[in-house]
Structure 1
Amino acid sequence: MGIVKEIKLRVRNSLKLRKSKRGSLINLQNLPPDCLERIFQHVYTDISNENIIASTITNLNSLFMCAQVNKLWCALSIPVLWRRPFSIALDGKKNAQLINTIISFLSEQEKNILEYQKLKFEPFTSHQFNYLQLIRVLDYDNFIKSVHRWVVRYPNDCKDFTKSRMLTQLLGKVLLKENALSGFKTFNYFRVRTYDNFNFIPLNKLSPNNSFDWLSQLTQLEYRNPHRVNKMNLNEFLDFFSIITSNCNQINNLSLDVRIDDFAIDHSISKLLLN
């Protein structure tokens, strides 16, 4: 992990050459692309367990600075930055930049809806990458939180939570649509208890045209539901796994955290576990 710390120091010092322990000079800009790519991946995953959020933000900042060095570094670091954009729920300006980028992929008609709802966003003129197609890991709960914070905290200060739900559905649909071909590799579905009085949005409410092609490449699924599954929410629970069993054939890593009241695990879940 020494090279990870080294590259962070280089970035913070405008990429000045530093001496290695052996006394020779290392020019990071001349490293082969595959080496740089692995270094950037280590920069992103070099997380401190003591403060995961602060450590993650620091690493994101380091990668963002790497993306500004030259075209090669940009081409290698941007996919790492966007591989898992909702690993944590950001806030403030950083979250605003993330959500504004996704908003830029909406149609003009959909953007007009936001303007009509008096939601402030920064227009994009062009994209160097299709950022949404770079996403490989989707943290569903953090995605919902991030959109909600964009609406009710910054850059907007809206108390009408229906606007938050509306925007979540718009952005969710465009995000899933852009990943219809490449698909996510990992999907983390963490059912929240209550978040700022904002109701959780079931998965089938976001999929465009009720299509789940974006699940076709899924290899890892983590599902957490702190609510006990009972007669009140059983349909939501079964609907989710019905979608999974119908559209996912490549899952090889499955993690379930479910509390069930007086119900045997449904056949749909059993089928998934046996595949």
Structure 2
Amino acid sequence: KEQSSCLYAKDMAKHGYVAVAFDPSMTGESGGTRRNMASPDIFVEDYSAAVDFISNLKFVNPDKVGAIGICGLSGMVLTAVANDTRIKAVATSAMYDMSDSIRNHYQGDYYTPEQREKVKEHLAVMRDKEAKKGQPIPGSHELAVDAQGHVVSHDTMFPDKLPDDANDVVKGFYDYYVGRAYHPRSINSNTLAWDSTTPYGFFNFSLMEHINEISPRPVLLITGEKAHSKYFADAAYAKLKAPKREIVVPGATHTDLYDQMDKIPFADLVQFFDDALK
């Protein structure tokens, strides 16, 4: 909540909205005895829990509640809105569908069936190790398979220094989480990896299966022209029913939409909720 979500919340508050930014369960200052664990089901429920809280404040109109999801929480917010009709409008920015990204990897063409089985075997080993150890073990939440068929996992999110040949996507994440937006409570900033068994939930449960049911409530998708994640927003837009709108920000990368105030189309975002919740 001290990173991109707080910037979006502050801007909405400037325009008269009551805005709450929160850490998902098991991260940051949120509760849960399991730490640094991501769960599609629990993170979806977190949005409905936030609605429980904010809609019962005496100075909030419970019939005018909207929601915003950024990056990996975008898939969760759309899933939540599909079933929680208290949320009357929803917007996403720099969208990721984490269940697709984790199970199928980038653009769905990374794992062969044989590679996916290797990943499942790796997860089974890690789960057994955690059970024997009685405590979590960090590991990559998106697992690579090398040319020799070995699963590659790391117990830290980022190295102290990126290699010279790091690609632009990794550089973008590193510059944001380790650089300009570093916060010690952020799992992506403090270099520790997520719990190594995190992929289980995303292998078991797909997000956004029923987002067509959001209609007739409106949806706004914000993505960047140069965002490597743009295809997620495009796919969601194709699946959604009207009313829907997709904004492609010229020249913007994925992480630009986290905090680059001159590139995030806040005027469009505010106008969207003004129109939807009036």
- When normalised by structure 2's length, the TM-score is 0.31
- Larger relative contact order (C-alpha < 8 A, sep ≥ 6)? 2
TM-score normalised by structure 1 residue count: 0.31
Q: Name the structure where helix makes up a greater proportion of residues.
A: 1
Larger radius of gyration: 1
